[in-house]
Amino acid sequence: MRKNSTKLIILAIVAVICILLYGFYDIKGGFDYAFPRRMMRVGAMIITGFAIAYSTVVFQTITHNRILTPSVMGLDSMFEVVQTLIFFFAGSISIWVVNQYLNFAASIVAMVLFAIILYRLLFRADKYPIYLLLLIGMIIGTFLGSLVSFLQVLIDPVEYLSLQSRLFASFTNIKVELLYISLAILLLAFAYGYRILGQLDVMSLGRENAINLGINYDRIVLNVLILSSVLIATSTALVGPITFFGLIIANLSYQFLVTYKHSVHILGAGLMSVIALVGGQFIVEHIFEMNTTLSVIINFVGGIYFIYLLLKESRAAG
C-alpha cells in the first residue's frame, strides 16, 4: 500500500509539472489573454481524462476483461450519428449547431438514452450475460457507423467539412462554455461512484463470489453501465471521441499499481490521463508544431497497444 501511495504521489507531481509546463511555456502575446485560454484547455483535459479513466476501469471490472472499453458499446458511433443527423437535416448554421449548449445537451441525452434503452432491454429479466450485451453493442456500433457513412455521402461538401471537425477529438478548440456543465456532471457521477467502490472491489472476485458476499450484482452492473455511459457521453460531447485512450491508461494503471482497490486504480489512471493529454498536447504544439493532432497519436499508439494485448491474451490462453 505504501508503494502505491508513493507511485501516486510521483504521478501527481509529474501531472502538475506537465500542467505548469503547458500553462507557462513560450507564451506569446498578452499573458492575460493566453494563460486563461491554456488553463481552460487543461481543465477540459482533466475532466475528459478522469471521466474516461473512471468509466473504463469500472467497465472492465464488470466485464472481467481488460481489453474491452465502453466505446465498444457504440457510444462513440452514437455521437457521430447525432452530429451527422443534425448537419444532414438542419445544416451547419442551425441553432442546434451554433448553440453549443443545445448541441451538447442533444449529444448527451441521445447517447445516454441509447445506452439506457439498450441496457433495459437486455437486463429486463436479469438473465442476459454481459457478453451478449457487448456483442449487441458491437453490432449496433457497426450499424451506426455504416449509417453515418451513408448520410455523409449525401451531405453537401461544405457541410461535410464542417461536420468532420466535430467528429475528431480536438484539444485546441475546446468548447469553453461547456466546461462547467461537464464538471458538474463529472462531480455528480463521482459522488455516486465513490459510494460503490467497495462493492466493485468485491465484484472483481467474480459474479458467484460477489453474490455470496451479499452484493446485488445485477443491479450494480446496470448502474455502473449507465454511469459509464454518462461519463463517456460527457467527455465525447466535450472534446470528441478518443477510441483507444481508455484502453491505454486503464491497462497502464493495472501494470503500474499492483492492488485490487478501485480507488487506487481510478486515481492512478486519472493522473496518467492528465499526464498523457496535457503532456501530449504540449508536444503536439511545441515540438510537432501542430502538424498533427493528439487524437491521431493516441489512436495510433492505442491501436498498436490493443494488438499487443490481444496477442498477450492469446498466448496466455494457449
Give the per-residue pLDDT at 112. Answer: 78
CB 110 within 8 Å of CB 46: no
DSSP letter, residue 30: -
DSSP letter, residue 260: S
Give the per-residue pLDDT at 275. Answer: 92
For residues 27 and 48, what is the distance between their CA atoms, to the nearest angstrom? 24
What are the pLDDT tens digits along the chain (318 aa)?
A: 678 888 899 999 999 999 999 888 877 767 777 788 888 888 888 998 999 999 889 888 887 777 777 776 677 778 888 888 888 888 878 888 888 888 888 888 887 788 777 767 765 545 556 566 667 767 877 888 888 888 888 888 888 888 877 777 677 767 667 888 888 888 988 888 888 888 888 888 877 888 888 888 878 887 887 888 888 888 887 887 787 788 888 888 888 888 888 888 899 999 999 999 998 888 888 887 777 778 778 877 877 877 777 677 666 655
Phi-psi region of 101 (alpha: psi -120 to 50; beta: other; left: phi over 0): alpha
For residues 250 and 177, what is the distance between their CA atoms, to the nearest angstrom? 29
**What is the CA 124 to chain-centroid distance, rounded?**
26
Locate 20 and state its grid cell.
Answer: 505548469
CATH code for the structural domain at 2-313? 1.10.3470.10
Give the per-residue pLDDT at 130. Answer: 58
CB 186 within 8 Å of CB 237: no
